[in-house]
Amino acid sequence: MQIQDILFSQGFGTRRICAGLIQQGFVAVGHEIIAEPAMEFIAEGLRFSVQGVEWPYVEKAYLMLHKPAGHECSQKPGMYPSIYTLLPAPIRQRGGGAAAGVQAVGRLDQDTTGLLLLSDDGKFIHRMSSPRHHVPKVYEVTAKHPVDDAQIQKLLKGVVLDDDPKPVRAAACRQTGASQLSLTLTEGKYHQVKRMLAAVGNRVEEVGGLHRSQIGALVLPGDLLPGQWRWLSTDDLQAIAATPAAV
C-alpha cells in the first residue's frame, strides 16, 4: 500500500495533502524519512510518524475516552464544547467524506463523566449500542437524598418511565455510601439513570452525580484522566464483549 494512501486512510488529509507531507520530509517509518509518496509498505502492523508524532496503522479505530463534564457527545454541539474537540485531527478526519472520523458509541449527557467508546466501525457501534445485545454499563451515582433499601429494591424490580409502560430495571444495584449507588444497566434509554432515580423518589445530584465506570468487563483505567483518550487493546475489546454474567 502506498504511504500516501496509508496516511489518507488514517485521516491526515486529502491525498494531495498527504503527498505534500511526505515530500516535505514530515513522514518517517522507523528512523527513515520517507520522501516518495508512492513508496509501498505493508499496512498491517505499521508504525509511522508524522511531524514527530508516532501513529499505528489501524484498519478500524477503537478507542476509549474519559469524558469530562461540560462536553456534549455531538458533532454539532449547542451550549457546550464537543467531545470530538478532545481528539487529534487525524482521528476526527479518518476516512474522509461526510461521515469521516470516529463516532461515539451511545451518548453521555454533558454533565455525565466517565467511560465513552468511539469507533469508525459501524458494526461495532451498532452491536455495542443496540439494546438487543444487553451490554452492561455500570454507573456510579450520587443522589440528592439518602438512599434506602426500598429504593434499591424498586430499581431492581423495575420502574415505569413516563414514555414507556414497560418497566425498566437495573441489572444490579448496590449502595456504596449514604447517598451513593453503583447501578448496572443493560439498556440505553434517554436520561435513563436520572429518570429511574426520580421514579423511586430521589434524584441524581446535579454536579458530579453521574459517572460511568465500566462497559462490559472493561473498567475505566484509573490513570486515564478526564479529557484523555487511548486506543483499545485486543484485551480491552474482549472485555467489552464480555457477557453480563461475566461482569
Q: Which residues of 138-171 are buried (b: 16+ CB within 10 A; e: fewer)?
A: bbbbbbeeebeeebbebbeeebebeeeeeebebb
For the chain, the residue count is 247
Choosing from 109, 148, 149, 235, the catalytic residue is 109
Q: Give 176-212 as a DSSP string.
A: EETTEEEEEES---TTHHHHHHHHTT--B-TTT-EEE
Long-range contact pairs involving 173-177 (C-beta distance under 8 Å, separation at least 24): 175/147, 175/149, 176/140, 177/142
**166 φ, ψ to 5°?**
-80, 125
**139 close to 105: Cβ distance less than 8 angstroms:** no
Active-site annotation holds for 236:
no
The number of angstroms, rounded, from the C-alpha of 122 to the middle of its chain's C-alpha atoms is 14
Beta bridge partners of 64: 117, 230
> DSSP code of 233?
P
Residues catalogued as catalytic: 109
